[in-house]
């Protein structure tokens, strides 16, 4: 049977998961604040106590949560606790924004089509880590950013939005990453906006944007 899903048109409850600097979280936060997204960030979660993004969220008066992976006997146990925290807050959509921990298949299944990720390359090219460096090494002329739904296979879920970033001859990993990041900050809030406007429709592995 072909997969089918249509995103809900409603005021959404959003959780952001992050492990680091949190610039994509901030982009979503600003879009929410500006009324561009029909939703509220109800939780900012991290697996890293010192994540800058957690601090930024606290400063903005958002609810934050950190769970220490070392206090759990297994990856499954950790993700079960995370899932419980998410469900407790009646979250409609999880936005992974630099969440550097692989999620268990069970967690991905539970939040199927209710979890997005942002990746700094044009998937399915360059999944994984250090992808801006890999793009430079390959000599590709274009890279970019991808927002996709999360499935158990890392970085391989249905693609929601992409933005193309031309690679310049004198680019370094840093300069290319910076230009890609600008595009990330544009398309991630846009994908969340479309989601709660009820305009994302998944058919098979294609995502259609409804008028």
Alpha carbon 10 to its chain's center: 20
CB of 28 to ligand GRF, least distance (A): 9
Three-state SS sequence of 15-27: EEEECCCCHHHHH
* Cis ω for the linkage preceding 59 (within 30 of 0): no
Give the chain's length: 211
**Does residue 120 belong to the site contacting ligand GRF (CB under 6 A)?**
yes
Q: Which residue is nearest to ligand GRF (CB)?
A: 98
Q: Assess whether the previous peptide bond of 124 is cis (omega < 30° from 0).
A: yes
**For ligand GRF, which is the closer residue by CB, 18 or 165?**
18
Applying CB under 6 A, does 158 fall inside the site for ligand GRF? no
| Residue 5, C-beta contacts closer than 8 angstroms, at least 6 positions apart | 112, 113, 200, 201, 202
Can you tell me which residue has the tokens 């409609």?
92
Q: Could you confirm whether 119 is annotated as catalytic?
A: yes
> Of these, 37, 97, 103, 116, which contacts ligand GRF (CB under 6 A)?
97
- Closest distance to ligand GRF from the beta carbon of 29 (Å): 11
Tokens linked to 18: 């992050």
**Sole binder of ligand GRF in the list 119, 148, 179, 193 (CB under 6 A):** 119
Tokens of 78: 């950790």
Residue 12: its H or E element = strand 12-18
Distance CA 63, CA 100 (A): 20
Q: How far is the CB of 20 from ligand GRF (least distance, A)?
A: 4
The residue range among 65-73, 75-83, 114-122, 199-207 that interacts with ligand GRF, by the rule CB under 6 A, is 114-122
Residues in 167-206 at the binding interface with ligand GRF, rule: CB under 6 A:
181, 184
Residue 146 near ligand GRF by CB under 6 A: no
Which residues between 48 and 77 bind ligand GRF (CB under 6 A)? Answer: 53
Interactions with ligand GRF, residue window 7-26 (CB under 6 A): 18, 20-24
Give the residue from 65, 61, 62 showing the smallest Cα distance to 49: 65
Q: To the nearest whole angstrom, how small is the minimum distance from the Cβ of residue 159 to ligand GRF?
A: 14
DSSP 60: T
Contact positions vs ligand GRF (CB under 6 A): 18, 20-24, 53, 97-98, 118-120, 181, 184
Task: Write out the catalytic residue numbers.
Answer: 119
């Amino acid at each position: 049977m072909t997969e089918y899903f249509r995103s809900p048109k409603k005021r959404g409850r959003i959780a952001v998961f992050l492990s680091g600097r949190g610039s994509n979280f901030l982009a979503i936060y600003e879009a929410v604040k500006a009324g561009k997204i029909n939703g509220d960030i109800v939780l900012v979660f991290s697996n890293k106590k010192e994540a800058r993004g957690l601090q930024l969220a606290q400063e903005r008066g958002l609810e934050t949560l950190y769970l220490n992976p070392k206090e759990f006997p297994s990856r499954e146990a950790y993700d079960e606790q995370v899932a419980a925290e998410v469900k407790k807050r009646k979250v409609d959509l999880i936005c992974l924004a630099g969440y550097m921990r692989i999620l268990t298949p069970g967690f991905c299944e539970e939040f199927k089509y209710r979890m997005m990720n942002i990746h700094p390359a044009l998937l399915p090219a360059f999944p994984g880590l250090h992808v801006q460096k890999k793009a430079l090494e390959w000599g590709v002329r274009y890279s970019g950013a991808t927002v996709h739904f999360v499935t158990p296979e890392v970085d391989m879920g249905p693609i929601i939005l992409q933005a193309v970033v031309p690679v310049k001859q004198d680019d370094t990993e840093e300069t290319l990453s910076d230009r890609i990041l600008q595009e990330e900050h544009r398309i991630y809030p846009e994908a969340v906006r479309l989601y709660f406007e009820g305009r994302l429709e998944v058919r098979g592995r294609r995502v259609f944007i409804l008028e």
